[in-house]
Amino acid sequence: MSFYEEIKANNRTTYFLFLAFFLLIIILGIVASYLLDSYIFVLLFGVFALIYIVIAYYKSDSIITALSGAKPADPQKFKQLHNIVEEMCIASGMPKPKVYVINDIAINAFATGRDPQHSVICVTTGCLQRLNRAELTGVVAHELSHIKNSDIKVMTMAAILVGLAVLMSDFLLRMFLWGSMGRGSNRKGGQIAIAGIVIGLALAVLTPVIAQVIRMAISRKREYLADASAAQITRYPAGLAGALSKIKGDKQPLKTANKATAHMYIANPLKGQKIWMKSMFATHPPIDERIARLQKM
């Protein structure tokens, strides 16, 4: 598969996953509104989601850099890194993002920001010390691809939808526990009410799990997409493949990473953690599969 085909295939899958996500939220809202006998519930969550979206959208770069302990990369001290970023920006037709560095021996990197004009690319000192120039170029191209492909906005929206789904499901569960179910309490003998209660309870329990599964699936697809885009920018897939090979062999966890930010990195920074049903809940696709795809391009 060429990188053009890879990009198209991953975009189609991402659109499908987001459709499934929105349908899940809509169904949950309808059930909640029915049980409450009021659509004010959906309206309130809509207002809350809008406020959350605005804050996450405009402050994502400063929030993530602060959480990760990243510092601005001095242009003289990290001259090669700045040169590579500038070269990849020219190749991709993008403005140069702010360049940051995390002082950590683990090999990893991430990008953040709401658009190319307000973006950040960050690498660890482990990347600078343990990757050769071609491999570091592949990593930088991968992170720039996340910015160019609007992956930051995609994953921000996915995180917001997960949070909204979890809040709605938690509210439904509390309704059931407290025995306050609006319309359902007035129609206890009705089969429709009973069916609604059963569906609502099932959704309340399963929604957080389903939402996380969809979010992780979107995250994995965007990683494949960024790999393909990096190959398109550099015209040298072997560079990124070599970097991923070294990342695979790196057993050092990134100290400043956590579960909330793990999906943003080029590879899972939480080394050695056991994940239940790993293929479904992993933030990144298997590195061997990513390397194999790059080698075929």
pLDDT over 70 at 151, yes or no: yes
What is the rounded average pLDDT of the residues 249-275?
A: 77
Among this protein's residues, is 143 annotated catalytic? yes
- What SS3 state is found at 121? strand
Q: Which domain holds residue 185?
A: 3-296
Query: Does the pTM of the predicted model rise above 0.75?
Result: no
CA 25 to chain CA centroid, nearest Å: 18
pLDDT tens sequence across 83-130:
999 999 999 899 999 999 999 999 999 998 877 888 899 999 999 999
CB 109 within 8 A of CB 233: no
The predicted-structure confidence for 45-95, as pLDDT tens digits, reads as follows: 667 666 766 776 677 777 778 888 899 999 999 999 999 999 999 998 999
185, pLDDT greater than 50? no
Cα end-to-end span (Å), the chain: 6
- Would you say how long the chain is, in residues? 297
Residue 143 or residue 175, greater confidence: 143
- Domain total in the chain: 1
Whether pLDDT at 18 is above 80: no
Of these residues, 6, 135, 143, 223, which one is catalytic?
143
| pLDDT (tens digit per residue) in 19-36 | 766 676 667 666 666 666
Q: Tell me what pLDDT residue 189 has.
A: 46
Choice between 293 and 215, residue whose per-residue pLDDT is larger: 293
What average pLDDT does the segment 167-176 reach?
A: 66
Structure tokens at 256: 């400043």
- Identify which has the larger pLDDT, 94 or 205: 94
